[in-house]
Amino acid sequence: MSSVLHHPPAGVARDLIAARGGRATRTRIAVIEALQACAHPMSHDELGAALDAAGVAHDRVTLYRALEWLVGQGIATRIAGGERAWRFELRGDDSHRHAHFHCERCGQIVCLEDVAVTSAPPLPAGFELDRSELVLHGACADCGRQREGRR
């Protein structure tokens, strides 16, 4: 379930970081590798667990700041979608932005590689578009099959 890299590796974590003039610290490296190894955007919590599993000691705040830096450098992106915590994923080619699916039963966020995000919507005059975010809400395949009334 985690053998699929859904984003191009685009070089080793260390190089990605060094190319931006940042320091290749264990936290940043571990975060990038965790994101590469995971098929869906990860929350802070998930990332924290992944670092623990990888034996990488880390502080909650450090993780926040590492992610902040990765996003600021364009290495990762934040997704709002689900509940009120950010999710993060590595940022692939800009030309290949995809939508996300939020399962309202299990809370999981899934990448919809096939659903492209319309890149040029008709904006009112004066508005400048930076990026678009398309999130579909519903029940994922696993949750959809075992039907329940309540979320």
Partner DNA sequence: CTGTTAATGCTACTATGTTGCATCAATCAA
Partner DNA sequence: TTGATTGATGCAACATAGTAGCATTAACAG
Q: What is the dihedral of CA 103, 143, 43, 99, to 10 degrees?
A: -40
Specify the residue, 53 or 116, whose C-beta has the smaller distance to DNA.
Answer: 53
Q: Which does 62 bind (CB under 5 to 8 A by kind): DNA, a copy of itself, none?
A: DNA
Q: How far apart are CA 71 and CA 20, in angstroms?
A: 12
Q: Which does 150 bind (CB under 5 to 8 A by kind): a copy of itself, DNA, none?
A: none
Specify the residue, 55 or 122, whose C-beta has the smaller distance to DNA.
Answer: 55
Interactions with DNA, residue window 61-90 (CB under 7 A): 61-62, 64-66, 68-69, 83-86
Write down the least CB distance from residue 124 to a copy of itself, Å.
7
Reported for 32-35, long-range contacts at CB under 8 A and 24+ positions apart, including other chains, are 32/70, 32/75, 32/76, 32/90, 35/7, 35/76, 35/88, 35/89, 35/90
Q: Which residues contact DNA by CB under 7 A?
A: 14, 17-18, 22-28, 43-45, 57-62, 64-66, 68-69, 83-86
